[in-house]
Amino acid sequence: MSLDPPPRAVAQEHACALERLALSGEGSSVLVVAAHPDDETIGVGAMLGSLVAMGWRVHIVHVTDGAPRDPSLRPTLGRLAPSEAAAVRRSELAAALRVGGLDPDVVLLPSLGVPDQEAALAMVEVARALSQRLVTSPPSVVITHPYEGGHPDHDSVAFAVHAAARVSGVPVRIAEMSSYHAASGRQEVESASFVPGSESSCAARHDGLLDVRARRRKRAMLDAFASQVDVLASFGTLAEPLRCAPAYDFTRPPHPGTLNYERLAFGWTGDRWRELARAALKT
Ligand SMILES: [Zn+2]
């Protein structure tokens, strides 16, 4: 099932918003680097269909396979072997993209295949692979996660994209889609926003408010991830904000206080993650 394509005016507005973030002020290709199958939909699901409708070349690469090796961290797929769980995640992803008006055979690049939850252990390898991609097929803009302590894999992908841009020498704008992070002073998680106090590094910033049709499309895409329904139910469809990535110091915490992933049963701490980031920076 594919929903109606976005009206031209809406598609054009989305494409223009991304163009304003590109270094050259114009663009025609985007590479989305996401940690897990579904992060692209959470961040820019509705926008992707607009870009394709406007003739942009869209490519999406996932760093992890979406299948944590600890079965308790994939409750709906815990009975499957990791490779089987990864295949389910990939097929749900393909279904979601189709719903959003994208052809998975065209837009999806092979996953880098890092086990879910373990991207921090492979930051150097991921950065090298992404750097190679930037050299051979430089996009107008890369869209990826912010560094915000929401999930260790998200932060690791942010690290790897920044490192890849630096190492490759390819002049490319790193734009950020929203993911999720701890709400300051509260137990809740915030999405469709960025950590307060971390600012866009360019003047352009896109609040990404979605109209009714785009919201419907995004919800239908989210619903295609059947194994993640419980998790994704809490994500709204009101907006897909974008901004230029700040120049991060990955050796420092992304914000004061407890990080979102430190409150979860992942077993990751910010201290351990930053230790790995420091080691990766030395290689
Ligand atoms: Zn994710």
Summarised one tens digit per residue, pLDDT across range 40-95 is 999 999 999 999 999 999 999 999 999 999 999 998 999 999 999 999 999 999 99
Its CATH architecture, for the domain 8-282, is: 3-Layer(aba) Sandwich (3.40)
**Residue that wins the pLDDT comparison between 223 and 22:** 223
For ligand 1, the distance from its centroid to the CA atom of residue 234, given in whole angstroms, is 14
Ligand 1 centroid distance, CA of 42 (Å) = 9
Evaluate if residue 27 carries a pLDDT over 70.
yes
What global pTM score does this model have? 0.96
Q: Is the pLDDT of residue 15 over 90?
A: no
Q: 38: CA distance to ligand 1 center in Å?
A: 7
Q: Give the pLDDT band of residue 9 (cuts 50, 70, 90).
A: confident
Give 9 Cα–ligand 1 centroid separation in angstroms: 30
SS3 for 55?
Answer: coil
116 CA distance to ligand 1 middle (Å): 9
Residue 7: pLDDT band with limits 50, 70, 90: confident
User: For residue 239, what are its two tokens?
Assistant: 């907006």
CB burial of residue 165 (10 Å; 0-12, 13-18, 19+) = buried
Mean pLDDT of the region 191-216: 88
Confidence of residue 268 (pLDDT cuts 50, 70, 90): very high
Ligand 1 centroid to residue 59 C-alpha, Å: 17
Give the whole-angstrom CA distance, residue 169 versus residue 135. Answer: 8
User: Where do the structural domains in the chain lie, given as residue ranges?
Assistant: 8-282
Helix (H, G, I), strand (E, B) or coil at 91: helix
Residue 155 CA, ligand 1 centroid: distance in Å:
10
Q: What is the mean pLDDT of residues 139-164?
A: 97
pLDDT at residue 1, rounded to an integer: 58
CA of 190 to the centre of ligand 1 (A): 14
pLDDT at residue 2 above 70? no
Q: Which residues contact 64 (CB under 8 A, 6 or more apart)?
A: 35, 36, 111, 112, 113, 114, 115, 116, 117, 118, 119, 153
List the beta bridge partners of residue 110: none
Instruction: Output the CA 140–ligand 1 centroid distance in Å.
Output: 24
What's the 205 CA to ligand 1 centre distance in angstroms? Answer: 22
**Sorting pLDDT into bands at 50, 70 and 90, what band is 116?**
very high
pLDDT at 123: 98
Q: How many helices (H) and strands (E) does the chain have?
A: 9, 8
DSSP string, 139-152: -SEEEE--SSSS-H
Average pLDDT over residues 210-227: 96
Measured in Å, residue 153 CA sits from the centre of ligand 1 at 7
CA of 8 to the centre of ligand 1 (A): 30
Ligand 1 centroid distance, CA of 179 (Å): 7
Place of tokens 């002073």: 185
pLDDT above 90: residue 4: no
Q: How far is the CA of 210 from the centre of ligand 1 (A)?
A: 21
